[in-house]
Structure 1
Amino acid sequence: MKLTILKNELNDAIQQVAKAASARPAIPILGGIKIDVTHQGVTLTASDTDISIQSFIPVEREDLVIATVDKPGSVVLPAKFFVEIVKKLPSDNIEIEVSQHYQTLLRSGSTDIQMVGLDPEEFPVLPSIEQSELLQMPGDLLKAMIRQTVLAASTSEQTPILTGVLWNLQEGQLKFVATDRHRLASRLAHVETAEDYRFNNVVIAAKTLVELSKLVPDQNGLVDIVVADNQVLFKIGNVLFYSRILDGTYPDTSKIIPQVYKTELVLDTKNLTDAIDRAYLMSREEKTNIVRLVTLDDGTIEISSSSTELGRVTEGLEAKQFTGDPLRIAFNSKYMLDVLKVIDSEQIMIGFTGAMSPIIIKPTDHAYSMYVILPYRTTG
């Protein structure tokens, strides 16, 4: 194998696929990036078996010659070193040549680097996915839905299914749900798809979705999504991102969400965020994160937290709207802040059905997202 390629093009593609290379591989090949060179272009692939990312660099793009291929071939190079060294090579062009036993030479300017390559035949084969039915959605919508739900996914491997985000699609409505049993986030969106195309109980690891989100460009391109039996494929331009679907059945969360409230508050999102942020500083010192919310007779609300060593923070807030019973409730301020920071609405509605019932948080601008936080039982 022998080719010359533009450094910036190779570097961009390596940065994309390296996210899937295993940092602590069980076998060395999983810590590598596979390079396949043909006269059409260069394909880079990395996989830790849970996720696989593939990026294609064509030899030409709009009259720009990106790569000159002298001899097609394949090799696997150690991702960690390859990623770092390509960034630091001195010239705009890099020559890559593979000789016997996968010994690989990188040449750039006056720099020569010898690398020990691995046999590409040992690299895992990417899943074969039937692409007859697919779902298309704008990249910025996908990123928003991920950002607004992953915060509620569990980080405990004791219940692996809850470390993921549940995807359900029916009648053109795509719904994401995540919960760690203490809080829940859900986000709904209308998407373009065949009228009868549907799926349910597709659960993708939250950490995988965070990595996917980094690959989706901010400008509003379309992402193609193909769901198979145990894999989901995302197509983002020249990049293919494969993710394993988590095993198991996601719990039915619909039963915990109340439909009517004893108390409803409408509050300014920024004012509430700032007030809870200040109260959180004190509660964090106590390592409890507990903040209390009390409705007062004059229609205002009081937010407070205390520390035996530091003292007390008390915040007064005007409610935009207050209906129902008076309320005293305690909750995890970190959970509440996580929600407030991803809500894209100037005002929010908070619904309560009692001091020990779930707290419901919804934006007032639209009905696409909804959050649930379980309260704390406290004395006093």
Structure 2
Amino acid sequence: MVWWLMPQALAQDVSITALFKPDSAHPHLNQFKNTTPLSGYCERYPGQCVENQTFSLQVPIQFNSSRAIPANHASSRQGATFKVPAQWRELTVRHESGEVETVKMRITGVGSKYVTEDVMELVGGADDYRLAHNLLWGSSWVNTPAPCLYSGVGYYATNYYGFFWKTPVEAACDKQAKFNVPWMRYDFLDFSYELVTPNPLGMLAGNYTGSLTYTVGPNGDFDFGDVMLPSTPVLTMNFNLDVQHTLKVDVPPGGEKVQLVPAGGWQSWLQAGRRPARLFRDQTFNISASSRFKMQLECEWWGTVYDCLLDDRVSRRGVELQVYVTLPNGLTDMSGQPVRHRRLRAGAANALYLQPGFYVDRAPGVLHFEVPERQMQFMLAPGAGPFYKGKVTVIWDSEI
């Protein structure tokens, strides 16, 4: 009778990474992409995992029998049994700023390669080792015991059998030995998993990190019975979610110079002395945005605490300049309201905070510049002018 007991390590760590980077070809696909390198089942059988939108990892946790497995054992825990954390578990991922989000994970499949003595000798002779494996356990390991489900794969030789089972529920799946098994080993732990990640559009740019720890061994999260003991009692998933946002504004050439004019031009004033109702100019721009941002003004000449002035350098008179913004569909204020001709105020304390409902890619917006009607009489009074100038800086800022 031969078996091995392996010294237990403190923990087995595995890294899970995901990336969000806006894709102009698919602007409505606002999801993280799992960038964790595949190993194990999905690496060997990628078609199975693509179809089911799952991922797999293989970790070097071995399970060794602590004693022989008797034929027709009464308790399933004396033989081959598998129970994994198939229900959703939550973990917190944290940004360096302290902001937190929630990730959910569940295990959707489990597998390994069991190794033992020559199975044809264990069953007292058989025509081939495939049949001997089936006789040893009463059926093929491809045909899974309930509630586990068939995965369609298996590979074997005289002393080993590689398998993978789907685990739709958190319950044990058992195989009863029909002959005595002096010793057995699972060479590794293979598992598939699903993730639910947060909405990246509401997250800050940068990395969010966190971890989720599972116990391994009898009565643990990964529970393979009382006989098959793991080389480590802890499996920790270390998560890193990388958020790479886009915030880009393109103003057409010459758009940085804005000339305000009355509706219909200056002819009514020049020819008939009709005072314009107001002066205005609309300036278009294209915006790409995948994250929250804010807009605010800075003034060369300040009027009130939140408005800019245009200044007549000759008479030293100033007139109020109002700035409004209209943003494309997909961008709203923080209450979810669309932004249509919304007033912008000067100064950081008066910033307008905005958020995307989906990735906005080079969509048109408008800045509206206006000298209001109440300023016109003052502006066109004798001795005023002739030129009013001023610099207004419009700021789009993703650091909020």
Q: Does TM, scored on the shorter chain, surpass 0.5?
A: no
Larger Rg over CA atoms: 2
Higher percent of residues as helix: 1
Q: TM-score scaled by structure 2?
A: 0.21
Q: TM-score scaled by structure 1?
A: 0.22
More contact order relative to length (CA 8 Å, sep ≥ 6): 2
